[in-house]
Amino acid sequence: MSLRVGLVGYGDAGRGIHAPLLAEAGLEVAVVATSAPARVEAARREHPGAAVVDDLAALLARREAVDVVVLTSATAAHVEQVVACAGAGVPVVSEKPLGVDAAAAARAVDAARAAGVPLTVFHNRRWDAEQLTLAALAAAGELGEVFRLERRWERWRPVPKDRWRENAPPGDGGGLVLDLQSHLVDSATRLLGPVTAVLAHIAARTTVADDDAFLLLTHASGARSHLSALSLAGAPGPRTRVLGTGGAYLVGPYEREVSAFTALADEPGATGWLVRGEERRAVPTAPGGHADFYRAVAAALALPPGQQQAAMPVQPEEALAVVRVLDAARASAASGQVVALG
């Protein structure tokens, strides 16, 4: 029997990202919690076998109908919803970031741990073709010792979207620091390890929340990450450049974003380029994809209760570490100083 999912939220994330990945991974959407009439109609049409209820409380009242709850709600709601799921004894997947700051995220982690309820966080970009290919390339020793990661999530969006991420202040979960930098920081720490210091420049140029965020991370290994999230880039830079003593990994244009680096688009069956001066060769794409996150959730929850948390694809402490880096970035931007992390 497939894992039965209670899906909280049916907007851009719930409907557009999570529901398709759940289907691809073979999981069943059994209950959808959403109250907006258009979203209720869409959920009923697209998941005719699912119950549609108003909110998380109504979903948890049907606790016996679900095996795991997936939270795709606004960031500011994550912690209270994780606490509610923990109180009901139901495993939970939270969208990233886990909380608007580390203190809030820690409360979610503590509540799940105290209740013995499995918790994981949707850091799905670990399963990007680019990230998987880079990890395989580094593991094969093709890059030598990696000393710098540059990654950009840059767009030309002079007229911002009219949605909560752009309209909410950072304390309520808005902005690119909490949104895109969550992915970028997680990816950097996966490759280069824990962060020991942060220097950041953050600005709000077209929105209430920040839409320009540059983070310079120093890792315990001595390597550094340069991470840019920007909505006002008329000429977005190359998506990724990783420098090592044995060569570089380069990815030009990113997904469907307009870029001046179209000439560096991937060849069929490849993701990015291994570059050594004038030498350049396409790198075969490593296997995997975002649906593997939910396959791993299903595999973890099929284990005996005492083994489930350790098998979850993203550990809560890893997600908490990301939020701590984001807190340090905001403190650095406010002070203009490097902020050390213990």
pLDDT at residue number 160: 86
pLDDT bucket at 49, cuts 50 / 70 / 90: very high
Instruction: Please indicate, yes or no, whether the overall pTM of this predicted structure exceeds 0.85.
Output: yes
> Which residues have CB under 8 Å from 23's CB, separation 6+?
29
From the candidate CATH numbers 3.40.47.10, 3.40.50.720, 3.30.70.380, 3.90.79.10, the one assigned to the domain spanning 4-124+291-313? 3.40.50.720
Question: Given strand 240-244, what is the order of strands in its sheet?
Answer: 279-284, 270-276, 247-251, 240-244, 146-154, 224-230, 212-219, 195-203, 339-340
Whether the CA torsion 98, 102, 106, 108 is positive or negative: it is negative
SS (H, E, C) 134-160: HHHHHHCCCCCCEEEEEEEEECECCCC
Amino acid sitting at position 40 = V
**pLDDT greater than 70 at residue 1:** no
121-180 pLDDT, tens digit per residue, is 999 999 999 999 999 999 999 999 999 999 999 988 888 888 878 878 777 788 999 999
213-223 pLDDT, tens digit per residue, is 999 999 999 99
Buried b (16+ CB within 10 A) or exposed e, 85-118: bbebebbbbbbbbbbbbbebbbbbbebbeebebb
pLDDT at residue number 18: 98
pLDDT bucket at 8, cuts 50 / 70 / 90: very high
Span 126-288+327-333: which CATH code? 3.30.360.10
DSSP 232: B
**Phi, psi (degrees; rounded to nearest 5) at 273:** -135, 140
- Cα(222)–Cα(3) distance, rounded to whole angstroms? 42
**pLDDT greater than 90 at residue 256:** no
Q: How does strand 51-53 pair with strand 92-95?
A: unpaired
**pLDDT greater than 70 at residue 266:** no
**pLDDT greater than 70 at residue 261:** no
Helices of type H across 163-304? 164-167, 180-192, 291-301
Rg (CA), the chain: 20
Segment 258-265 long-range contacts (CB within 8 Å, at least 24 positions apart): 258/156, 260/235, 260/236, 261/236, 261/237, 264/238
284-339 pLDDT, tens digit per residue, is 999 999 999 999 999 999 999 999 999 999 999 999 999 999 999 999 999 999 99
Domain boundaries, the chain: 4-124+291-313, 126-288+327-333
Question: What does the CA dihedral 307, 310, 316, 321 come to, rounded to 10 degrees?
Answer: 160
